[in-house]
Amino acid sequence: MRNGEERGKDVFSGLATHDFQRAYQKSFFHAILKKITGKGSGLLSFDAIRRSLDVEGETDRGMREVEIDKIIGSLSRYEDFDESFLPRQTHTRGRWQAIDKALMRGEFLPPVELYKIGDFFFVIDGNHRVSVAREKGQKFIDAHIRELEIPFPISGEFNWQSIQLKQGKANFLKRTRLNELKPEVDINLTIAGQYHKLLDHIDVHRYYLSQTQQMEISYQDAVLSWVDNIYLPMIDVIREQKIMGLFPDRSESDLYVWIIEHLAYIQQRFPSGIGFREAARDFSRKRKSIWEKIKKFLKYNS
């Protein structure tokens, strides 16, 4: 009987060794493919994601089955596995193979611990269990969930730039309350990191209002004045000049930021007589000229 048990252990050990080698080799080829194609984002760092989000609370969601493909990051082991949870380091071998053997024997494995953000999950504890289960073709895994509450939904395909934009807009609206004060004005930017520039514009506008009127201007009054006297007039100019045709993948709000920055630049060179329309025309003319040169270059080299 003992010999039979020993042979069974040897069989499981051999299979686990083979499984790990296959998973590790897959990870190696994934890394090569990533270098060639530039595709593949790697396993995400939970801490890096959390630092960038305005977390409003945390709720214990208890036990449930989780779709393994929705687990996209880790609290501490994001460098040990790739985006498919394949092992990237050989020091994971012992733990990985022990879990593989336990699964082959039909032993009970405790549920993994996960953080949930939107529709996606990050491993607190159980990275190796997720890795083995995914390599074995499991679609779901038992998990204990802690959900972080954020001010906007995250669903569909995980897109970090889109999430940064949503968080930027959420911060902007939280500070300005523009969705309450002017619900008909919807400011949408398509480039991450730009919303803080709008907050800077409002701060500068508030300062000049206070200086001009020789009194303290409330932040909400400054927001309304900025919208009515700076932002919306510039949007009218953008529409009047038909500039959007040069930038089909951008928004009117993007152009507002670019033209205001261009206006500040040319006002430094020509301190008097430069307004919104002149800045917009100059911006459009220069951008159109650059775009025409790019098109000629691409046509010549195609």
User: What pLDDT does residue 217 have?
Assistant: 93
For the chain, how many structural domains are there in total?
Answer: 2
Residue that is last in its domain, among 149, 172, 206: 149
DSSP, collapsed to helix, strand or coil, labels residue 83 as: coil
* Domain identity same for 140 and 173: no
Q: Indicate the Cα dihedral angle 232, 233, 239, 240, nearest 10°.
A: 160
CA distance 238 to 215: 33
Determine contact, residues 90/62, Cβ cutoff 8 Å: no
Confidence (pLDDT) at 278: 55
CA 158/CA 293 separation, integer angstroms:
36
Q: Classify residue 105: in a domain, yes or no.
A: yes
In a domain, 155, yes or no: no
Q: Within this chain, do residues 238 and 119 fall inside the same structural domain, yes or no?
A: no
Q: Which of 149, 168, 202 is the last residue of a domain?
A: 149
Same domain, 126 and 164: no
Per the domain annotation, does 183 fall within a domain?
yes
> In this structure, is residue 154 part of a structural domain?
no
| Domain assignment present for 222 | yes
293 and 171 in a common domain: yes
Range name among 58-72, 179-193, 278-292 with the lowest pLDDT average: 278-292
Q: Are 9 and 139 within one domain?
A: yes
Is 87 found in the same domain as 58?
A: yes
Element (H, E) at 59: strand 57-67
- Residues 103, 173, single domain; the answer is no
How far is the C-alpha of 224 from the C-alpha of 177, rounded, in Å?
A: 10
Examine the pLDDT at 291 and tell me if it is beyond 90: no
CA distance 48 to 182: 33
pTM: 0.73
Residue 244 is part of which domain span? 160-300
Q: Which amino acid is at 139?
A: K
Domain end (from 129, 149, 169): 149
48 lies in the same domain as 183: no
- Residues 6, 145 within the same domain: yes
Tell me: do 117 and 190 sit in the same domain: no
- Residue 301 has a pLDDT of 38
Question: In 3D, which of 126, 124, 41, 134 has the Cα closest to residue 85?
Answer: 134
Q: What was the pLDDT predicted at 276?
A: 52
Q: Rounded CA gap, 50 and 149, in Å?
A: 11
Which residues are bridge partners to 65 per DSSP? 142
Of these ranges, 39-48, 231-240, 241-250, the one predicted with the greatest mean pLDDT is: 231-240
Residues 112 and 184 in one domain: no
197 and 178 share a domain?
Answer: yes
